Structure 1
Amino acid sequence: MPINLGTLRSAASRSRHYSTASNSQSARALGYRTAFLCHSHQDRTLVLGLLQLFREQGLNLYVDWMDSEMPATTNGDTARKIKNKIVEADLFLFLATPNSLASRWCPWEIGYADGKKRHESIFVIPTTEHGTNYGNEYVDIYRRIDEADQGGLAAWNPRQHSGGIYARSL
C-alpha cells in the first residue's frame, strides 16, 4: 500500500539528525547502499521522513542532495552531475508526490535512469494522501517500495501484491 504523506511527515519529526556520508565513495566505505533519490526539493520534510523510515528498517542510505560534491544551486553543471550520480548509485528511488510528479526534473531523471540502470535497481515509492494515490503511472513498470501489511517497508515487483521483500534486504 502506498506510503501516506502524513506518515512521512510524522517520521521526519522523529528524526533529529540524519547523518550520512559526504559523498558516494565514503558512503561505500561505510558499507551504505547508495541511492539516487529522485524527489522535489519542495518535499524536503517528506524526504527526511523517508530516510527515517529506511533507517528504522535497518537500511542506511546515501542520497545525492546531502553530497558535498553537488552544486548548491541548479546550474549548467547540475544535469551532468545528476546523470553521473544516477549511473554511479546502487539504486534509483523515485519518491512519487504531487510535487515530484509536477517537477520538470523528476520525469527526466526517471527516464534517464530507465535508459542507464538495471531495471531491478529502479524503485518507485508511491504515496497517498486524502484518498489520492501518487505514482500509479509508474508502478506497473518499475519495482515499488511501500508499506508492508505487517509493518515496515517492503519492495515489490510490478503487479505483485504478496511475497515482497523487506526494504532492509535491498
Structure 2
Amino acid sequence: MAIFTKEQFQTIAYNKAKIKGHTTLNENRTFSQSSAKTSVFLSHSHHDKKLIAEAKTFFENLGISIYVDWADETMPQRTSGVTAQNIKGQIRKNDKFILLATNDAITSKWCNWEVGIGDTYKLANDKICILPLADNRLTWQGNEYLQIYPRIEESEYTRDYFKIIYPNKSEISLYDWLKQ
C-alpha cells in the first residue's frame, strides 16, 4: 500500500491552495453544501486539526464541499446524544464519506462509530473511502476492517493525479469517483 505521509499530504494541500491564490489554509470556514455539486462527510480525529484544514483545502480545490463537525455552528457545544444524532444525519445527507485515517482517527471511538454509520449508508453505493495518512511510511497502524474500503492514493506515475484503489485492486480517478 503506497499511502501518503502527513507531510506529503500537507505539501499537496498547500500547493493546491497556492495555485488557487490562497497561501494560508482557512480553518474557520463554515460548512456550505450549496457551493458544490458533491458533498463529503469528513470523519476525523480532533487531534488532527491541522490536517483537517488541509484536507478541506484539498477537496474544496477539487470543487467538493466538505462537512466537518466542528465547523458546523448547529452542533451542540458539549458532546451529547444530540451530537450523535446530528452526525448520523450529516453522514446520511452528504453524498460521500471519507475517513481521514490517521493513527489518532483509527483509535478514536467516534471515528469507528462514524465508519460503521458510513458503511451502512454508503458502501453499497460506492460512496465511502479512506484517506490513510501515516506519520511516516512505517507508522500507519491501520486496522484489518479498513482493508474492505477503497483508499485514496497519489499515482506513482503522474504527479498531482489521485486515484481510488479498491480492495480488488481496480482503480478510478479520485475526481471521477467524487463526481459520480
Q: Please state how far the C-alpha of 1:68 moved relative to its aligned partner.
A: 2.1
Counterpart in 1 of 2:9? 8
Change (3 A) 1:15 1:160: farther
| Of 68, 78, 97, the match for 1:92 | 97
Q: Deviations over 1:30-61 (max 9, x none)?
A: 234111111001101011122222244x2332
Please state how far the C-alpha of 1:135 moved relative to its aligned partner: 3.2
What CA RMSD, in Å, does the superposition of the two structures yield over aligned residues?
Answer: 2.5
**Counterpart amino acid of residue 172 in structure 2:** G
TM-score (normalised: structure 1): 0.81
In 2 relative to 1, CA 46–133 (structure 1 residues): closer, same or farther, beyond 3 Å? Answer: same
CA distance in structure 1 between the partners assigned to 2:115 and 2:147 by the alignment? 14
Deviation at 1:166, TM superposition (A): 3.1
C-alpha contact 2:60 2:66 (8 A) present in aligned 1: no
Measured at CA, do residues 70 and 77 of structure 1 come closer, stay the same or move farther in structure 2, by a change above 3 Å? same
Query: In the alignment, does 2:149 pair up with 1:145?
Result: no
User: Contact between 1:126 and 1:136, CA under 8 Å: does it hold in 2?
Assistant: no
Please state how far the C-alpha of 1:132 moved relative to its aligned partner: 2.1
Q: Contact conserved, 2:39 with 2:67, CA < 8 A, in 1?
A: yes
Task: Name the CA distance, whole Å, in 2 between partners of 1:55 and 1:132.
Answer: 28
The total of aligned residue pairs comes to 164
> 1:30 and 1:80, CA in 2 relative to 1: closer, same or farther beyond 3 A?
same
User: How far apart are the structure 1 equivalents of 2:121 and 2:174?
Assistant: 25
SS of 2:148's partner is coil
Question: Identity, % of aligned pairs?
Answer: 29
After superposition, the Cα gap between the structure-2 partners of 1:113 and 1:133, relative to the gap in structure 1 and judged at 3 Å, is: same
Residue 166 (str. 1) matches residue 174 (str. 2)? yes
Matches of 2:118 and 2:140 in 1, distance apart? Answer: 23
Superposed displacement of residue 102, structure 1: 1.1
In the superposition, the TM-score normalised over structure 2's length comes to 0.77
Contact 1:38 1:95 (C-alpha < 8 Å) held by counterparts = yes
Contact 1:114 1:122 in 2 (8 A): yes
Q: Give the AA of the match of 2:5.
A: N
**Cα distance change on mapping 1:117 and 1:55 into 2, 3 Å:** closer
After TM superposition, where is structure 1 displaced by more than 4 Å over at least 4 residues in a row?
A: none
2:127 to 118, 121, 129: 121
Which runs of 5 or more residues in structure 1 are unaligned?
none
SS for the counterpart of 1:133 is coil
Unaligned runs of 5+ in 2: 18-22
